[in-house]
C-alpha cells in the first residue's frame, strides 16, 4: 500500500485506529507522517484535537493516558509520536549505529544525533559516565560485541567522540528508559475509544515485537527504506522531487534535476530543502531550470561554503565549525573562505541598516519569500533605481539573496554587525602582515559570533 492509497482511504472515511510509518529514508517517513496527520485532522481542529509528541521526550504511560483521555471538543482525536523507539531491539542496533555515523559525518546539526544516541544508551544499558572522558576505550571488545553487536571497537572512533563532545557542550543528559510497553499493547488489543487514533513514526523496527504485530493486524504500516544501487537511488530522487514540485504547482526541468541531484548527492532530505528554496526562488515563472540551481551554488564546493555562511548567520556554532573543518580538510584556501564570511557579514550589516531606517517596509520574521517579492522588494528596487547607477552591492544582488540577508539581520543589532565588520577588517590585516594562522583566526571569529 502506498501513501497515496492511505490518503485516499482516509478521504473516504475508512480510517483504522493506528498508523506506523518507519524506515531509514527519513525524509519520506517524515513526509508521510505529516501528510497523514493533516489528512486525519482538519487545520481548524488541530489545536484541540491533535497531540504531538516526541519519541525521546514522551514516556509510554503518558502516551497511554493521552490515548484514553476524552478530547475537550467532539470529533476525531489524534495522538502522534515522532521518532519513537518502541520498536527497537538488538536486531535494529546496526541501523541505529549507521544513523549516528551518517549524522556525525553530515555534521550540520549534531544536536539531532543525541536523540538516536539516547536510544542507543537505553538499549546497551550504559550510562554517559561509562563512556565520558575516554572511558569508552576501557570497554573490552567482548563487551562491545555483547552489548552493541560491534565486532571492531576501533570503528567507534568515527562517531562516538563527536557525540560525547556535543553532549558535554550542550549539557545533555540521557532520558530514563520508557517502560510500560505492555500497557500500550493491552490498550491497542482491546481497542482505542471511538475516533481516537494513534500515529507513530520510527527509524527502524523489529518486526518480531508484539507491538509491531498489533499495528499490522489492526492498523496501517508504511515502510520507507533506503534504496540500494545508484540507478534506484536516482530514480527515487527524480520521482520524489518531481512530485514535490508538482504538489507546489510548479515544475523542474530534467537538466536542473540532474544538477540538483549531483550537488546534494541524491540525498532526499538535503535535496528537498534546496528544492523548496528553488521553487520560491523561481517566483511567478513556476519552473526551476539549471540557471536557478547554479545561482545558489556554482560548484559543489561552494555549497559547503554556503553551509558555513548559513550556520554563521543563524549563529549555530556546531554547524559552522563542522562546515569550516570540512572546507579546510578539502583544501579550500582560507582567504577564499574568509572572503565569503566577509560577504555574509557585509550583507547582514546592509540589511540591518535598511531595516533600522524603515526602508525594508513590512519585513519581519514571519515574512516568507513570496510576500517579500510582493510587498517589500519593489520598494527596495525603486530605491536602488533612484540611486542613479547600477548597484552592484547589496541591492544589486538577486532578490532571494536580499531576502535571506534581511532574515539573518534579525539576529543582529546594527552596532553588533558594525563591530563584526570592523573585526573582519582587522583580521584581514593580521592575515596579510603578521603571519597568524588564518584557520585559527576564522575559528575564533565563528565561536565569538555564535556565542
**Better pLDDT: 8 or 101:** 8
DSSP bridge partners of 223: 22
Round to whole Å and give the CA distance between 126 and 192. 35
- Whether residue 443 has pLDDT greater than 70: yes
Residues in the chain: 451
Least confident residue range of 25-29, 110-114, 138-142, 370-374: 110-114
Q: Say if residue 300's pLDDT is above 80.
A: no
Residue 306 and residue 296 in contact, taking contact as beta carbons nearer than 8 Å: yes
Residue 313: which of 414, 409, 451 has the closest Cα? Answer: 409
Q: What is the pLDDT of residue 299?
A: 39
Residues 6+ apart with CB under 8 A from 363: 355, 372, 376, 406
Task: Specify the 3-state DSSP secondary structure of 53.
Answer: strand
| Residue labelled with grid coordinates 523542474 | 252
CA distances 155 to 98, 327, 359, Å, are: 11, 24, 55
Residue 435 DSSP SS3: coil
Q: Which domains does the chain have, with CATH numbers?
A: 3-86+178-223 (3.40.50.300), 90-170 (no CATH), 230-296 (1.10.8.60), 303-450 (1.20.272.10)
- According to the model, what pLDDT value does residue 296 have? 63
- Collapsed DSSP state (helix, strand, coil) of residue 227: coil
Enter the C-alpha cell of residue 56: 525521546
Q: For residue 190, with 0-12 CB atoms within 10 Å meaning exposed, 13-18 middle and 19 or more buried, which class applies?
A: exposed
Closest CA to 304 of 275, 278, 329, 276: 329
CB 442 within 8 A of CB 337: yes
Between CA 155 and CA 172 the distance in angstroms is 24
- For cell 512530485, the residue is 243
Q: What is the pLDDT of residue 345?
A: 92
d(CA 398, CA 240): 28
Does 143 score more than 50 pLDDT?
Answer: yes
CB 170 within 8 A of CB 56: no
Q: Which residue's C-alpha cell is 565486532?
A: 151
Looking at residue 418, its pLDDT comes to: 93
Identify whether the C-beta of residue 334 lies closer than 8 Å to the C-beta of residue 308: no
* pLDDT category of residue 428 using cuts at 50, 70 and 90: confident
Q: Is the dihedral of CA 257, 261, 267, 272 positive or negative?
A: negative
More confident: 123 or 7: 7
- Hunting for cell 539549471 — which residue is that? 290
Q: Decide if pLDDT at 390 tops 70.
A: no
pTM (predicted TM-score)? 0.59
Residue 178 confidence (pLDDT):
53
Helices (H), 254-376: 254-264, 268-282, 290-296, 300-313, 317-329, 334-356, 369-371
Closest CA to 239 of 20, 1, 4, 40: 4
Q: Which residues contact 370 (CB under 8 A, 6 or more apart)?
A: 280, 283
Give residue 199's pLDDT band: very low, low, confident or very high (50, 70, 90).
very high
CA dist 424 and 254 (Å) reads 42
- Statement: residue 238 has pLDDT above 70: yes
Look up cell 525603486; give the residue: 382
From residue 322, give the alpha-carbon distance in Å to each of 309, 316, 333, 412: 12, 10, 16, 22
CA dihedral 321, 324, 329, 335 (to 10 degrees): -150
What is the overall mean pLDDT for the chain? 84
Gap between the Cα atoms of 166 and 288, Å rounded: 38
CB 103 within 8 A of CB 112: yes
Give the Cβ contact number of residue 423 at 10 Å: 15
List the grid coordinates of 207: 518486526
On whether the CB atoms of residues 79 and 67 are closer than 8 A, the answer is yes
Q: In sequence order, what are the residues at sequence separation of 6 or more whose Cβ sits closer than 8 angstroms to the Cβ of residue 231? A: none
| Range in 57-66, 234-243, 247-256 the model is least confident about | 57-66
Amino acid at each position: 500500500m502506498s501513501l497515496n492509497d492511505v490518503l485516499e482511504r482516509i478521504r473516504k472515511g475508512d480510517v483504522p485506529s493506528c498508523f506506523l510509518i518507519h524506515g531509514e529514508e527519513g525524509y519520506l517517513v517524515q513526509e508521510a507522517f505529516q501528510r497523514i496527520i493533516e489528512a486525519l485532522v482538519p487545520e481548524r481542529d488541530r489545536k484541540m484535537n491533535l497531540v504531538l509528541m516526541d519519541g525521546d521526550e514522551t514516556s509510554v504511560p503518558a502516551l497511554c493516558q493521552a490515548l484514553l483521555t476524552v478530547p475537550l471538543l467532539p470529533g476525531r482525536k489524534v495522538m502522534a509520536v515522532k521518532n519513537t523507539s518502541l520498536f527497537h531491539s538488538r536486531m535494529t542496533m546496526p541501523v541505529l549505529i549507521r544513523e549516528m555515523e551518517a549524522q556525525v559525518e553530515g555534521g550540520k546539526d549534531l544536536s539531532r544525533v543525541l536523540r538516536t544516541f539516547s536510544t542507543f544508551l537505553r538499549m546497551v544499558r550504559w550510562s554517559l559516565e561509562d563512556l565520558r572522558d575516554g572511558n569508552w576505550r576501557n570497554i573490552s571488545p567482548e563487551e562491545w560485541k555483547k552489548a552493541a553487536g560491534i565486532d571492531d571497537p576501533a570503528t567507534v572512533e568515527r562517531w562516538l567522540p563527536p557525540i560525547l563532545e556535543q553532549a558535554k557542550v550542550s549539557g545533555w543528559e540521557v532520558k530514563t528508559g520508557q517502560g510500560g510497553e505492555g500497557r500500550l499493547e493491552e490498550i491497542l488489543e482491546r481497542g482505542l475509544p471511538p475516533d481516537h487514533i494513534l500515529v507513530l513514526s520510527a527509524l527502524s523496527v523489529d518486526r518480531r515485537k508484539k507491538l509491531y504485530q498489533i499495528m499490522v493486524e489492526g492498523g496501517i504500516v508504511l515502510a520507507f527504506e533506503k534504496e540500494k544501487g545508484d540507478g534506484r537511488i536516482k530514480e527515487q530522487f527524480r520521482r520524489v522531487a518531481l512530485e514535490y514540485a508538482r504538489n507546489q504547482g510548479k515544475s523542474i526541468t530534467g537538466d536542473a534535476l540532474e544538477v540538483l541531484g549531483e550537488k546534494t548527492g541524491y540525498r532526499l532530505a538535503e535535496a528537498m530543502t534546496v528544492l523548496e528554496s528553488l521553487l520560491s526562488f523561481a517566483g511567478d515563472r513556476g519552473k526551476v531550470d539549471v540557471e536557478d540551481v547554479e545561482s545558489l551554488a556554482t560548484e559543489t564546493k561552494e555549497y559547503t561554503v554556503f553551509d558555513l555562511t548559513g550556520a554563521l548567520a543563524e549563529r549555530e556554532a556546531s554547524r559552522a565549525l563542522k562546515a569550516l573543518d570540512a572546507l579546510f580538510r578539502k583544501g579550500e584556501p582560507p582567504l577564499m573562505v574568509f572572503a565569503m564570511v566577509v560577504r555574509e557579514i557585509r550583507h547582514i550589516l546592509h540589511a540591518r541598516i535598511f531595516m533600522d531606517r524603515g526602508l525594508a517596509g513590512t519585513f519581519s520574521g514571519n515574512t516568507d519569500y513570496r510576500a517579500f517579492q510582493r510587498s517589500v522588494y519593489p520598494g527596495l528596487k525603486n530605491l536602488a533605481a533612484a540611486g542613479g547607477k547600477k548597484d552592484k552591492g547589496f541591492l544589486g544582488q538577486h532578490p532571494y539573496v536580499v531576502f535571506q540577508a534581511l532574515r539573518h539581520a534579525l539576529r543582529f543589532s546594527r552596532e553588533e554587525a558594525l563591530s563584526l565588520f570592523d573585526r573582519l577588517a582587522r583580521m584581514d590585516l593580521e592575515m596579510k602582515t603578521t603571519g597568524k594562522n588564518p584557520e585559527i583566526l576564522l575559528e575564533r571569529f565563528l565561536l565569538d559570533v555564535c556565542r
